[in-house]
Chains A and B, each alone.
Chain A
Amino acid sequence: MVKAMLGWIAVLLLLTQSACGFKDIDNRFFVIVVGIDEGKSHPYKISLMLAIPSPKTEPGVAKSVIINKEADTIAEAVRLMKSSVDKELDFGHTNVFVIGKSFAMHQDLSETLDWIYRRRDIQQISMLAAGVPDAESILNTKPKSQRIPGNDLILALSGSGTESPYILREYLFDFYRRIRGNGIDAYLPIIQPEEDNLIINRGLVMKGPRASLELTPEETACLNQLVRGFRRFIVKAKVEDQYVTFSVSKLRTRYRFAFPPSAPPEVHLYVAVEADLEDSPVSLYHHNWSKLEQVIAGQIQSEYTDLLIKLQEKGSDPVGFGLHYRAVMHQGRVEYQNWKQLYPELKFHVHATARFKSTGIIE
């Protein structure tokens, strides 16, 4: 009897407590995309894309609200914005962070984005991207076919929608370990608005904590293959003075270092691809297939070498040669110091081999 009474008293006490975090889903505003720019009067200008839920989700009826604020820190901006909406801001579904390009080039990204790294409710698998000209214009672009706000960005960046070789993928945790770590640099995909659409086909490479180099679409595709091993790309080569396109289905890259005495150190990159023919004005079935394979290999080789040299000139290392150097050398703490002097003098040797499998369903 006494036990029962105590139980009821405990239950009543629990129910009267209001500080228990109970907040219904329709009293929350989900923030889907966050945009970070340089502000005119303050260091930060934060834009948020808030999703307005609707019971029917059809393509084209996505509704969202964009709000922005300037402040000295991101946390302050968020708090200021909380007072201009009627529901609680919920960052649990924030999937994309867009960083304005000028912000990325001028600010130290390992320190200024600390709010993102530190908060517990930001997913480690949220994606990062750079926005050209700035993040706010990306948020304000509303593609027509969206079912829910921000969905186009999420589908494109995560690869669950379109899988394009020009879209680089970068998650928050990977960005953090690259931007703070030694021996590997971060990169971001670049999003550009074009009328009502968003185009993602360029890349931005960091050097240390700042952005340093913007890549063309072809170079972005190469970087995607080198860094992420993205398999489904095309190789455009000239056969008999005409452009022929091969589509690759399998890609394997390995590399190792070589230190010949009294010569600059070398990196030997071994690339193996399997390709099919996708687009050709010439019938290639009766060609010498090993010649074709050489053409493919040569094209890949020249593309990769150009990209690697370009990255080396700028001092960026998104592929992770530095990390690999530290892994294979056994010298302890001095490895990274050695590497910083070694990298500008590295010679890249790309050895590509290709296997040509088929010409499609016609000759």
Chain B
Amino acid sequence: MSRYFFYIYLTCMFINTIFFIPRLLLEERFSGAIMAMMIAVVLGSAYAILFMKAIAKFPGQNIADIFERMLPRAIRVPQLVFFGIMWAISGSIVLIAFATIAIRFLNPEASLTILLFCFCGICCWSSAHEPKSILFVTEIVMWLNVPVIAYIMYKSITSNWFVWDAIRILSDYTLKLPSWKALAAATYTFTGYINMAVYNREFKPAKIRMLWLVPIIGIVVLFTSIIVPVGLLGVDHVDDYIYTWITSADTLHMQFGVITRIVYLFLFAYIGFSLVFITLTWNIGAKLIASCFKKQTIQIRKLAVPMHLPWSIVFAVVTFVAGLFTTDKMVIEFVGQWLMVRWAAESFLVATIVYMAWRSVRKHG
């Protein structure tokens, strides 16, 4: 059962390359990004392990249940709504980013409206399923896509055209104090564990084993996702490229395969990851907001509609409208600011859960 935790964690970790994290960190590569990454490894792993140990004290309950037991309604409802919206926004960002990428690289003549409509429709439908199905489909997508991405990362590091000197130039700039933006961006890689806040309900034995894998996987993926673009695209002008990782993947090629350009393999795998990620986040967001209401189903003319379905529809509609009016640059700037807000919210949530766990241990001995 604990393998599902790692699937969710890995999804969020791999999605960070579409989330413009490499671009945000590489913009500041000469002014503290490396230090940001090192701090992020320590901080992120600490958050993850603390949170998992704390939530293990509440087996079979998600944060809505925990808040219900420990907080009065006036505080609980705004908090849950806030967190629900935060989760939904992260899914929406990935949706808009990926629709833009699909248009840019796969199909420039497509109209953004139709593509957004397709994505929003599919994700709205998929996020309305029950958590167990979503976890199973995450498992399947992971097993198919992670080998592809691992192969691409391996091929990029062992490529003949990878210039290690460029990385060594970067090592001169290690000891610089990072900005909050870089720190928030780097810690985002580790944020996968926070989805357990709601999926904890599906895990009957609440103990997740092998938590020591969390920092190890984190270090490997985070550093690879920064090192590879620098080694392949040159240290001076790697921030010229807007979609850093996609262009890095484009520099590889399989001479003896059916598909010569590896960028297409990369994009296929990432469509899968993005859809899974958006499904997960919108599902969690909808469930959190739905848990503020007493009734769990609404009756519409003989159909018993579960409470979280209308919220998925709301997310889809809002994202669709937002996607029509945003540009590349707006999305990247929004992401930069949003990551800092998200980091603050995440720290607050972790602190709250740890505090509640401590209090419940004290109460029950």
- A and B in contact, CB less than 8 Å: yes
Contacting pair B235 A181 (CB below 8 A): yes
Neighbour of A177 across the interface among B111, B114, B233, B255, CB < 8 A: B233
Chain A residues contacting B107 (CB-CB under 8 Å) are 20-21
Contacting pair B251 A332 (CB below 8 A): no
Q: Does A17 contact B (CB under 8 A)?
A: yes
Neighbour of A327 across the interface among B108, B109, B110, B165, CB < 8 A: B165
Taking CB as reference atom, which chain A residue is nearest B235? A181
Contacting pair A124 B251 (CB below 8 A): yes
Q: Please provide the chain B residues from 160 to 212 with a CB less than 8 Å away from any CB of chain A in the complex.
A: 160-161, 163, 165-166, 168-169, 172-173
With known contacts A120-B104, A180-B234, A327-B165, A173–B173 Cβ distance under 8 A: no
CA distance A344 to B168 in the complex (A): 24
Chain B residues contacting A23 (CB-CB under 8 Å) are 109
Chain A residues contacting B234 (CB-CB under 8 Å) are 176-178, 180-181
Q: How many residues of A contact B (CB 8 A)?
A: 34
Contact indicator per residue, chain A 158-193, by CB within 8 Å of chain B (1) or not (0): 101000000000010110111011100000000000
Contacting pair A332 B236 (CB below 8 A): no
Chain B residues contacting A345 (CB-CB under 8 Å) are none
Q: Does B291 contact A (CB under 8 A)?
A: no
Contacting pair B165 A124 (CB below 8 A): no
Q: Does A66 contact B (CB under 8 A)?
A: no
Chain A residues contacting B108 (CB-CB under 8 Å) are 21, 120-121
Q: Does B355 contact A (CB under 8 A)?
A: no
Chain A residues contacting B168 (CB-CB under 8 Å) are 327-328
Neighbour of B114 across the interface among A14, A125, A324, CB < 8 A: A14
Closest chain-B Cβ to A318's Cβ sits at a distance in Å of 13
Q: Does A19 contact B (CB under 8 A)?
A: yes
Chain B residues contacting A331 (CB-CB under 8 Å) are 172
Taking CB as reference atom, which chain A residue is nearest B110? A21
Contact indicator per residue, chain B 142-175, by CB within 8 Å of chain A (1) or not (0): 0000000000000000001101011011001100
Contacting pair A180 B250 (CB below 8 A): no
Contacting pair A332 B105 (CB below 8 A): no
Q: Please provide the chain A residues from 77 to 110 with a CB less than 8 Å away from any CB of chain B in the complex.
A: none
Q: Does A305 contact B (CB under 8 A)?
A: no
Contacting pair B247 A173 (CB below 8 A): yes
Contacting pair B109 A19 (CB below 8 A): yes
Q: How many contacts A-B (CB < 8 Å)?
A: 84
Q: Does B53 contact A (CB under 8 A)?
A: no
With known contacts A21-B108, A120-B105, A328-B168, A323–B114 Cβ distance under 8 A: no
With known contacts A20-B109, A120-B104, A332–B165 Cβ distance under 8 A: no
Chain A residues contacting B251 (CB-CB under 8 Å) are 124-125, 171, 173
Listed residue (B172, B173, B252) with the most chain A CB atoms within 10 angstroms of its CB = B172
Contacting pair A180 B237 (CB below 8 A): yes
Contacting pair A332 B172 (CB below 8 A): yes
CA distance A181 to B163 in the complex (A): 13
Contacting pair B104 A323 (CB below 8 A): no
Contacting pair A173 B111 (CB below 8 A): no
Neighbour of A123 across the interface among B173, B232, B250, B255, CB < 8 A: B250
What 4 pairs between A and B have smallest CB-CB spacing?
Answer: A177-B234, A21-B109, A327-B168, A124-B250
Which B residues lie at the A interface, using CB under 8 A?
A: 104-105, 107-111, 114, 117-118, 121, 160-161, 163, 165-166, 168-169, 172-173, 232-237, 240, 247, 250-253, 255, 260-261, 263
24 contacts between A and B (CB under 8 A): A14-B114, A14-B117, A17-B114, A20-B107, A20-B109, A21-B109, A120-B104, A120-B108, A121-B108, A124-B247, A125-B252, A160-B255, A171-B251, A177-B233, A177-B234, A177-B236, A181-B236, A181-B237, A182-B236, A323-B163, A326-B169, A327-B166, A328-B168, A330-B172
